[in-house]
Amino acid sequence: MVVAECQTSSTREVAQKYKIPESTLRGWIKRVEKGGTLLKGNQRQGKPGRKPILPKVAETAIKKWILDERSKGAPITTRVVKEYVGENYANDNFQASRGWLTKFMVRKNLTVRVAGGTKNRTEMNREANRVPNPSKKHLEYG
Protein backbone atom coordinates (compact mmCIF):
# COMPACT_ATOMS: atom_id res chain seq x y z
CA MET A 1 0.00 0.00 0.00
CA VAL A 2 1.29 3.44 -0.91
CA VAL A 3 0.48 5.01 2.45
CA ALA A 4 2.27 2.22 4.34
CA GLU A 5 5.37 2.82 2.24
CA CYS A 6 5.48 6.42 3.51
CA GLN A 7 6.40 5.11 6.96
CA THR A 8 9.74 3.83 5.66
CA SER A 9 10.42 6.45 2.96
CA SER A 10 9.76 10.16 2.61
CA THR A 11 6.48 11.40 1.18
CA ARG A 12 8.31 13.05 -1.70
CA GLU A 13 10.12 9.83 -2.71
CA VAL A 14 6.93 7.78 -2.63
CA ALA A 15 5.03 10.42 -4.63
CA GLN A 16 7.75 10.46 -7.30
CA LYS A 17 7.91 6.65 -7.40
CA TYR A 18 4.16 6.26 -8.01
CA LYS A 19 3.86 9.49 -10.05
CA ILE A 20 1.14 11.01 -7.88
CA PRO A 21 1.02 14.55 -6.48
CA GLU A 22 2.61 14.87 -3.07
CA SER A 23 -0.43 16.78 -1.77
CA THR A 24 -2.69 13.87 -2.75
CA LEU A 25 -0.46 11.47 -0.87
CA ARG A 26 -0.46 13.71 2.22
CA GLY A 27 -4.27 13.79 2.08
CA TRP A 28 -4.38 9.99 1.98
CA ILE A 29 -2.01 9.76 4.94
CA LYS A 30 -4.11 12.21 6.95
CA ARG A 31 -7.32 10.29 6.19
CA VAL A 32 -5.78 6.97 7.27
CA GLU A 33 -4.38 8.52 10.47
CA LYS A 34 -7.87 9.75 11.40
CA GLY A 35 -9.16 6.20 11.13
CA GLY A 36 -10.73 6.57 7.70
CA THR A 37 -10.27 4.35 4.70
CA LEU A 38 -9.04 4.96 1.20
CA LEU A 39 -11.77 4.49 -1.37
CA LYS A 40 -11.31 3.03 -4.83
CA GLY A 41 -11.75 5.15 -7.94
CA ASN A 42 -14.18 8.05 -7.80
CA GLN A 43 -16.07 6.86 -4.73
CA ARG A 44 -17.03 9.52 -2.22
CA GLN A 45 -16.80 9.25 1.50
CA GLY A 46 -20.27 9.73 2.95
CA LYS A 47 -23.23 11.14 1.06
CA PRO A 48 -22.96 14.27 -1.06
CA GLY A 49 -25.30 17.18 -0.43
CA ARG A 50 -27.14 18.49 2.57
CA LYS A 51 -29.05 16.37 5.02
CA PRO A 52 -32.84 16.36 4.75
CA ILE A 53 -34.43 19.02 6.96
CA LEU A 54 -36.92 16.71 8.64
CA PRO A 55 -35.67 13.68 10.58
CA LYS A 56 -35.98 10.23 9.00
CA VAL A 57 -38.71 9.32 11.47
CA ALA A 58 -40.86 12.24 10.31
CA GLU A 59 -40.28 11.49 6.62
CA THR A 60 -41.18 7.85 7.18
CA ALA A 61 -44.38 8.89 8.98
CA ILE A 62 -45.32 11.24 6.13
CA LYS A 63 -44.77 8.49 3.56
CA LYS A 64 -46.89 6.09 5.65
CA TRP A 65 -49.66 8.69 5.88
CA ILE A 66 -49.62 9.22 2.10
CA LEU A 67 -49.80 5.47 1.42
CA ASP A 68 -52.56 4.98 4.02
CA GLU A 69 -54.66 7.77 2.54
CA ARG A 70 -54.15 6.42 -0.98
CA SER A 71 -55.20 2.95 0.13
CA LYS A 72 -58.45 4.48 1.48
CA GLY A 73 -59.04 5.97 -1.96
CA ALA A 74 -58.52 9.57 -0.90
CA PRO A 75 -57.18 11.87 -3.64
CA ILE A 76 -53.74 12.90 -2.36
CA THR A 77 -52.47 15.91 -4.27
CA THR A 78 -49.30 17.89 -3.75
CA ARG A 79 -51.36 20.60 -2.07
CA VAL A 80 -52.85 18.11 0.40
CA VAL A 81 -49.39 16.75 1.28
CA LYS A 82 -47.94 20.23 1.78
CA GLU A 83 -50.88 21.20 4.02
CA TYR A 84 -50.52 18.01 6.08
CA VAL A 85 -46.78 18.52 6.52
CA GLY A 86 -47.26 22.21 7.34
CA GLU A 87 -49.81 21.40 10.04
CA ASN A 88 -47.95 18.48 11.61
CA TYR A 89 -44.24 19.17 11.10
CA ALA A 90 -43.91 22.95 10.84
CA ASN A 91 -41.13 24.75 12.68
CA ASP A 92 -39.13 27.95 12.27
CA ASN A 93 -36.57 26.44 9.90
CA PHE A 94 -38.91 24.40 7.70
CA GLN A 95 -41.61 25.16 5.19
CA ALA A 96 -43.08 22.48 2.95
CA SER A 97 -42.17 24.07 -0.37
CA ARG A 98 -42.64 22.67 -3.85
CA GLY A 99 -38.91 21.91 -4.09
CA TRP A 100 -38.90 20.06 -0.77
CA LEU A 101 -41.93 18.01 -1.83
CA THR A 102 -40.37 17.07 -5.18
CA LYS A 103 -37.14 15.92 -3.51
CA PHE A 104 -39.09 14.11 -0.78
CA MET A 105 -41.09 12.21 -3.40
CA VAL A 106 -37.87 11.16 -5.15
CA ARG A 107 -36.20 10.12 -1.87
CA LYS A 108 -39.18 8.00 -0.87
CA ASN A 109 -39.89 6.58 -4.37
CA LEU A 110 -43.37 8.11 -4.48
CA THR A 111 -45.15 9.48 -7.51
CA VAL A 112 -47.75 12.17 -7.90
CA ARG A 113 -50.94 10.58 -9.05
CA VAL A 114 -53.33 12.39 -11.31
CA ALA A 115 -56.96 12.32 -10.23
CA GLY A 116 -59.19 10.28 -12.50
CA GLY A 117 -57.17 7.23 -13.40
CA THR A 118 -58.07 4.65 -16.05
CA LYS A 119 -60.84 3.13 -13.97
CA ASN A 120 -62.52 6.50 -13.44
CA ARG A 121 -62.22 7.42 -17.12
CA THR A 122 -63.81 4.12 -18.14
CA GLU A 123 -66.70 4.64 -15.75
CA MET A 124 -67.16 8.21 -16.99
CA ASN A 125 -67.29 6.99 -20.60
CA ARG A 126 -69.97 4.44 -19.69
CA GLU A 127 -72.02 7.15 -17.98
CA ALA A 128 -71.63 9.42 -21.00
CA ASN A 129 -72.95 6.68 -23.28
CA ARG A 130 -76.04 6.14 -21.10
CA VAL A 131 -77.15 9.75 -21.30
CA PRO A 132 -79.39 10.28 -24.35
CA ASN A 133 -77.94 12.61 -26.93
CA PRO A 134 -80.10 15.77 -26.98
CA SER A 135 -79.31 16.39 -30.64
CA LYS A 136 -81.13 13.22 -31.72
CA LYS A 137 -84.85 13.55 -32.11
CA HIS A 138 -86.86 10.87 -30.46
CA LEU A 139 -89.97 10.17 -32.41
CA GLU A 140 -92.89 8.46 -30.84
CA TYR A 141 -95.20 6.51 -33.02
CA GLY A 142 -98.64 6.06 -31.71
Reported confidence tier of residue 140, pLDDT bands at 50, 70, 90:
very low
Average pLDDT, the chain: 78
Asked if residue 56 is part of any domain, the answer here is yes
Query: Which amino acid does the sequence have at 120?
Result: N
User: How far apart (Å, rounded) are the C-alpha atoms in residues 68 and 114?
Assistant: 17
- In one letter, which amino acid is 12? R
Q: Per the domain annotation, does 41 fall within a domain?
A: no
- What tens digit of pLDDT does each residue of 34-49 get? 776 666 555 566 667 7
Q: Is the domain of 64 the same as that of 123?
A: yes
- Per the CB < 8 A criterion, the answer to whether 22 and 13 are in contact is no
Same domain? 25 vs 76: no
Burial of 104 (0-12, 13-18, 19+ CB in 10 A): buried
Q: Is residue 29 in a domain? A: yes
Q: For the ranges 45-54, 55-64, 83-92, which has the lowest average pLDDT?
A: 45-54
CA angle 83, 86, 88 (to 5 degrees): 105
What is the C-alpha to C-alpha distance for residues 49 and 60, in angstroms, rounded to an integer?
Answer: 20
Averaged over 39-62, what is the pLDDT? 76
Q: How many domains does the chain have?
A: 2
What's the domain range around 96? 50-131
